[in-house]
Structure 1
Amino acid sequence: MTETVRVAVPRKGRPLEAVLERFAAVADADALADDVSSTLRYEKAVTKGLSTADRDVYERLATYSDLSDPTHPEYTLLRDDRDGKPRRIVFDSVTVPVDGMTVELIGREEPFRALRTHEFGLGFDSADLVLEEVVTLGETGVESIADVNDRIDPRDTDVRIETGLGDTVYHTLLATPEILPPGSDLDRSFVADYAGPLCISPRYERLVRAILGTDALDDVTFTYPDSSVEEEAAIADVGLGVYLTMTGSTAREHGLVVGEDLFPSETVLMENVAETNGTAKRLKTELAAADLETAIRP
């Protein structure tokens, strides 16, 4: 009987879709990926009030799930963090065959932490969370996913990043033209010479310290946007900031210069090296091989 490999995955959103796309690339799972993604996009629209459901949430949950068939996706209910704390349907689990292996994808709110506590050997989560929790701060900054493992203290965790999935947006430097000297570039070296306020989301303070390095932030004071103000507008008021961007179009609408892409905010495949056996390592190799250009280790 084939050993089942349990893999922790996000419950919703872009990271889960990236995971499903990766499994679609290594298994016959295109229909599954489309089914889960379309279901959760619809449920997100309902939760945000952009669509109106004709059945209550429990009826929809019963319709989506089939307990008799593990290869059919299961869903569960969580309280969303929006006003009123509405119930939101999110991914729970599904079984996927991959090259003779039986793989059970199990939804977790924080897959990285589930790997850190040795509940799983393999999992997917945002690279941001790794920087926020375990990457050692240094005088110089972290510039790529490939740099991250070198900054993880082995005494702190057995988790390592294997590869990125390419669903990338970037933590990017943004600034008003007024603070940039003529002919200068908005990059890491500019921040190293800069003294003054830097606007960031409060949850990203440690991440920004890891990305830019402690030396560059000697004369920098972090400021945080008010919850009622768009981040780009807050950065425009301060003059300099770091924010997630894909195209930079919204930043430019606020009169900001889009500078260096500092670090990719990307879903990554992770391994707890103390918990994986031969079958799990074979699955890890299959998943990483689907995109060899971004693999960190062979």
Structure 2
Amino acid sequence: MSETVHVAVPRKGRPLEAVLDRLAGHPDATGDAAAVADDVSNVLRYEKSITKDKQDAEAGVYDRLADYSSPGDDRAPDFTLLRDDRAGFPRRVVFDSVTIDLGDVDVHLVGREEPFRALRTHEFALGFDSADLVLEEVVGLEPDPLTSLADVNDRIDPHDTDVRVVTGLGDTVYHTLLATHEAVDAGPTGALDREFVADYEGPFCISPRYERLVEAVLGTRAAEGLDFVYPEPGVEEEAAIADAGVGAYLTVTGSTAREHGLELGERLFPSETVLMENTCEADSAAIERVREALGHAVEETALAMN
């Protein structure tokens, strides 16, 4: 019988899809790994469209949950319900678990609201989460900026946590500097980069909760004169940055930013799904096998373990 390794993953969103794609494309994956990955992604995209009021549900949430799940069959995807943060706190269908066969080892993906914290509390040896959470939780703040995933582990205090980043999955979008043309023209060089921020003093619009992340990727020296402000509820981040004049936000194409009259500046840091390991719990050959399997094909971004 194959040994089972439990891996914490997000319950929804881009990071979960990145993990499923990695497993489905692995050469040792057997059975219906690709079909399972598609099923989970399709269910969650459909549920997201319902949550965003872009599609009307044909059945109630409990009926949909019963239709999606296969109790007693851990090889089929299982889902669960969580309270959503919309008005009235309705329930939302999210991923719960599934087991995928990698030949001589079974990978049991287990949904968690915050996989990174589940690793910090030693519930799992391996897990996936956004690199943003690592920066928000444990990366130390230093005068110089943090510019790449390869430097993250060097900024983690080993007395604070046993979790380390192994590699990124390449599903990259970037925290990017954004500013109005007027603000850029008033800067020292006319360029929207870290030098601009170091010289700038005033409101700097970011998403709530991201203060430590922004300070880490800018460096505390450049962040000294910034007054962090945040979008009002229901206001798009790009619109709020346009009102503030300067800020940072996750961008893919930058089209929405340009529609608000913003200039795209320096890419500060990649927001990427990362494979993490609790070094104290990774004590078996099966865990090492899964670690290598889940980290394959991204050697160019692999991180040295400290």
Q: Same fold (TM over 0.5)?
A: yes
Structure 1 segments (4+ residues) deviating >3 Å: none
Q: Measure how far apart 1:286 and its partner are.
A: 1.4
Which of 252-261 and 43-52 deviates more?
43-52
Q: Which residue of 2 aligns with 1:138?
A: 142
Q: Output the CA distance in 1 between the equivalents of 2:182 and 2:50.
A: 43
What are the equivalent positions in structure 2 for 1:1-298 lying under 5 Å apart? Answer: 1-26=1-26, 27-28=29-30, 29-181=33-185, 184-276=190-282, 277-297=284-304
Q: Output the CA distance in 2 between the equivalents of 1:166 and 1:294.
A: 8
Which of 102-111 and 193-202 deviates more?
193-202
Structure 1 residues 48 and 228, CA gap change in structure 2 (3 angstroms): closer
Q: Which amino acid aligns with 2:62?
A: Y
Which of 162-171 and 221-230 deviates more?
221-230
Quote the sequence identity (%).
65
Q: Output the CA distance in 2 between the equivalents of 1:131 and 1:123.
A: 16
Residue 237 of structure 1: SS of its match in structure 2?
Answer: helix
Q: Measure how far apart 1:127 and its partner are.
A: 0.4
User: Number of aligned pairs?
Assistant: 298
Residue 289 of structure 1: SS of its match in structure 2?
Answer: coil
Q: Measure how far apart 1:225 and its partner are.
A: 1.9
What 5-or-longer segments of structure 2 have no aligned partner? none
Q: Output the CA distance in 2 between the equivalents of 1:123 and 1:283.
A: 11
What 5-or-longer segments of structure 1 have no aligned partner? none
Q: Output the CA distance in 2 between the equivalents of 1:104 and 1:218.
A: 45
Deviations 1:233-269 (A, max 9, x none): 1111111101111111111111111001101111110
Q: Measure how far apart 1:184 and its partner are.
A: 2.5
Q: Output the CA distance in 2 between the equivalents of 1:62 and 1:202.
A: 36
CA contact (8 A) 2:3 2:104 kept: no
Normalised TM-score (structure 2): 0.94
Normalised TM-score (structure 1): 0.96
CA contact (8 A) 2:197 2:223 kept: yes
Which of 80-89 and 104-113 deviates more?
80-89
Q: Which amino acid aligns with 1:286?
A: A
